[in-house]
Amino acid sequence: METRRDDLDQDTTQWGDHFLSVPINDSDFDVLAREIEVLKPIVRDDIFTLSSYAIKKKILSIHLLISLGLSYHFQNEIEETLKHAFERIDELVTDETDLYTISIMFRVLRTYGHNMLSDVFSRFKENNGKFKECLIKDVKGMLSFYEAVHFGTTNDHILDEASSFTLEHLEPLAMCQRAIPPNMLKLIQKALHIPQHRNSQALVAREYISFYENEEDRDETLLKLAKLNFKFFQLHYFQELKLITMWWRELSITLNLPRNIKERTVESWFAALVINFEPQFSLGRIMSAKLYLLITFLDDACDIHGSIPEVASLVNCIERWEPDYMENLQGHMKSSFQFVMYVFKEYEEILRSQERSFMLDKMIEEVVIYTNPNDS
């Protein structure tokens, strides 16, 4: 499995060898890590040593940490703060009439599993049951209200109404470039395209850093930490993409398949990034990306180059999980099963080195689902 694929077409991916040429040194990681560790205590003290009477301010700051991609550094402090906040939720929201504050509290608490009731938004309605027209002027509040809608459940009927209300007034703003500051306009456009809650947290952090940098009330220490932290992300991401690209290019198994098999290394890695973006999950992203690459490989091999009987034989072989049964396979189906075996053997070795169990049955089931010719 060590033959290089230099003789294959390089246009199978628009990225080519880009990530192979990115220089990455361990010293770069060390320098950034030390700078981050210097700033973390300062930010922690600024946010979490506030008195218990400033709990709303703490929640607004937690929202900033989430949006800037920093929350994983302060998980214990965040969970403890929100636990106490939820215990006092009725007291906290009783006299609160600011749409932005209520929306942020709702989003943050639900993000961490605390079921703040959506009825809290009823206070923003007129006696006729419609949302107050004066809210339209509060652009920041309306945007946060729109983001809060995406934390709703099937029982949060008021959020269905809020979705229509906020969209009705935010969409025209997104088209009118002179109505609001460019910084806020861009944030609205991003949210209408993909709300933060449904977007990759790495992309949210990148976008929100640019937004926060232009805010007049920004905290310079927090902004500096966010920028350093994102550079730390980038180093990990480049390293992962470099490793995955090298791994794919050095697989001899793909040499036995036609040239039009898709190379989707970056796309597969990005799918893994959506699940977990933090640096400590680097190994998990690499392993997930390889699994997605395997599934894409099988999808091409089966859809383009395999007849229904050949694909059925491959599925049967995977379900049996018997290497000797591979002799019943022909051509590309045999190469496909060899690839499956290779990837799973690599997984076993990695997880064994991590002293973790290998959920083989579950992963085999996932691969079978993607190759079963009886599924529409």
Residue 364 pLDDT: 54
Query: Percentage of the chain with pLDDT > 70?
Result: 86
State the DSSP code for 132: P
Each residue's pLDDT tens digit, 353-373: 876 655 555 555 555 555 565
pLDDT of residue 376 exceeding 70: no
User: d(Cα 258, Cα 266) in Å, to the nearest integer?
Assistant: 21
Q: Work out the pLDDT band at 239, boundaries 50, 70, 90.
A: very high
Determine which of 34-48, 98-112, 173-187 has the lowest per-residue pLDDT on average. 173-187
Q: What is the mean pLDDT of the segment spanning 106-111? A: 97
Given the structure tokens 């402090």, which residue do they identify? 77
**Alpha helices, DSSP H, located in the chain:** 26-48, 55-67, 75-87, 89-93, 99-111, 139-149, 157-175, 182-193, 201-213, 220-249, 265-275, 282-305, 308-320, 331-353, 360-371
Average pLDDT, the chain: 86
Q: What is the mean pLDDT of the segment spanning 38-45? A: 97
CB 373 within 8 A of CB 302: yes
Q: Work out the pLDDT band at 221, boundaries 50, 70, 90.
A: very high
Residue 10 pLDDT: 38
Half-sphere exposure of residue 208: CA atoms within 13 angstroms, side-chain side = 23
Each residue's pLDDT tens digit, 294-316: 888 888 888 877 888 888 888 88
The answer to whether the 26-226 and 257-371 domains have the same CATH topology is: no
Global confidence as pTM = 0.86
pLDDT of residue 2 exceeding 80: no
Q: What is the mean pLDDT of the segment spanning 189-201? A: 94
Beta carbons within 8 Å of 166's beta carbon, 6+ residues apart = 142, 143, 145, 146, 149
Q: What is the mean pLDDT of the segment spanning 111-116? A: 96
CATH of domain 257-371: 1.10.600.10
User: Which comes out higher in pLDDT, residue 186 or 360?
Assistant: 186
Q: Work out the pLDDT band at 11, boundaries 50, 70, 90.
A: very low
Q: Work out the pLDDT band at 108, boundaries 50, 70, 90.
A: very high
The listed CATH number (1.50.10.130, 1.10.3720.10, 3.40.640.10, 3.40.50.1100) that belongs to domain 26-226: 1.50.10.130
Each residue's pLDDT tens digit, 156-171: 999 999 999 999 999 9
Each residue's pLDDT tens digit, 279-292: 999 999 999 999 99
Which among 143, 121, 140 has a CA at the least distance from the CA of 132? 121
Q: Work out the pLDDT band at 200, boundaries 50, 70, 90.
A: very high
pLDDT of residue 331 exceeding 80: no
Burial of 319 (0-12, 13-18, 19+ CB in 10 A): middle
pLDDT of residue 60 exceeding 70: yes
User: d(Cα 278, Cα 201) in Å, to the nearest integer?
Assistant: 9
Backbone angles phi, psi at 350, to 5 degrees: -65, -50
Q: What is the mean pLDDT of the segment spanning 310-329? A: 84
Residue 339 pLDDT: 87
Q: Where are the domains of the chain?
A: 26-226, 257-371
pLDDT of residue 7 exceeding 80: no
